[in-house]
A and B are shown apart, each in its own frame.
Chain A
């Protein structure tokens, strides 16, 4: 256990609660296509913070965050208004609102700074990149309270939001108030972003929503696990970033939290068992090797089928020009080790096990060929020319029919009948 000072503990409570809320809110934002809108929203809060400071002269969070909420919401409304009528695309509207509102914030904070340098230094600059170090216990508890409320709301409306995110038309037909649910979701996103401002800052607030959710999606394929995992990632990133910044006080907390989240994403991208790069590459390599093995067995089988009396020589296989001499040797050696072939006195022979497997392979590929030739309407997604077993891909009566037409022409490989379907 790392000894943690009281101040750091308070900050940890606040940022962890923030990560918790941001994970689930971010997942919904992502699935409803609001990821980049939340970035515009975050940038659009800056002028609100400055205006609230100018109006109230106070640096207390509630006042500043109310201002943030106001201009953030205004920014979202403007994105919608600008892109409502075609000529301006939504992404351009997002970029414009993001940059222009941010510019207004910079101009306002510049004006404040030149008039009362110290006040601004202390209060407003922290909102750019986040400055949770001075967080009070009451503020951390507020964040925790809002985070709990967020989770409750998500739990309550998970079903409704799932429906609206997946198929809004269907939701509308079923009588769900899609606009109201969208508005609620947007309110939730706005609250979370505003809550993230003191800790992560205006520039990176949206990242704490987007990154954990995107990382979680790489691991799981259902909504509720995604919400839980994204929230966990959010907490993990927040805690890591906060602890790092406690250890290296010169480094800004917000970017550290985002970097921690980014690292989590990168790790997920590499090692996630289903969508990860490593898993994909391994599976692809295994598939390719398996394909080569099947091709070799199939080739030997058809060579023998064509001329049962004469042996299959390595030279005959080489003349097929499928493999280079080195590769061919390696493949043959691999097949021998697996007990599929042996070197007989007159050349390569299939063992019993090898012959059975080879017959299955050839049968499957001929059935596919027959299927493609004979069926007018095919389900292309089902076709897997590498599949050795067809029973789970095509209905059994169809397989039987295709087999019959192969047998009629003497093309059904001998020894393949007993294969498990």
Chain B
């Protein structure tokens, strides 16, 4: 019984990881972020072709999964957000 519980838990963990990365749009976003060191919000919109609102939603999901690090700063007086893949995110992408 114990080994069955363990197997069920492991498969649940596997499904969780797959949901985050396996989703096509999230996979696209992570792919672009994997090949660069960091990117700002505007460049991610240009690279992925996503709408602003949609990108915000997807980045929130990735941040929740600790796959990305979002750094909010300023360029002059304008807010400027840069995003980079965390080490956990890079490992997860490589495994995928």
The yes or no verdict on A and B being binding partners is no
- Identify the A interface with B (CB < 8 A): none
Interface residues of B (CB under 8 A from A): none
